């Protein structure tokens, strides 16, 4: 996947909050248009690889990234062809594991999705 496409999946910002603390309530407004990536890149997505397909009844997806340039607020967008809207996650942590209830729902309603 091209880096511009990757930037639509995963973006980050510097903020005045410490890593691992509560995500600010206005996090969504800090990122702007999701179709426009950042010119300077962003954090390095360590796992999973971009484009990973998860089989049903597999362990919950875990996302891990390495911050760049002091970033400490992250937006993660998860999409599938069977869902109209992306799952959008805002966090100050450098790792996020999909909650079990979301993973079960996704397995049930997104069979054979890409």
pLDDT single digits (tens) 20-58: 567 888 888 887 777 766 666 678 888 988 778 888 788
pTM of the model: 0.73
pLDDT digits (tens, 9 = 90+) for 54-97: 887 888 999 999 887 778 888 888 888 888 888 889 998 899 99
Tell me the CA distances in angstroms from 60 to 7, 38, 55, 97, one per residue in order. 23, 29, 10, 7
Which residue in this structure is represented by tokens 């942590």? 93
The alpha carbon of 22 is separated from its chain's Cα centroid by a whole number of angstroms, namely 17
Element (H, E) at 73: strand 73-78
């Amino acid at each position: 996947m091209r880096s511009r496409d990757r930037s639509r999946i995963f973006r980050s910002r510097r903020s005045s909050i410490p890593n691992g603390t509560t995500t600010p309530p206005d996090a969504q407004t800090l990122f702007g248009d999701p179709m426009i990536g950042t010119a300077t890149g962003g954090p390095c997505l360590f796992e999973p690889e971009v484009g990973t397909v998860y089989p049903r009844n597999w362990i919950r997806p875990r996302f891990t990234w390495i911050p760049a340039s002091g970033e400490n607020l992250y937006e993660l967008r998860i999409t599938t062809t069977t869902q109209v809207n992306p799952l959008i996650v805002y966090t100050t942590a450098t790792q996020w594991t999909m909650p079990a209830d979301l993973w079960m729902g996704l397995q049930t309603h997104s069979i054979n999705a890409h």
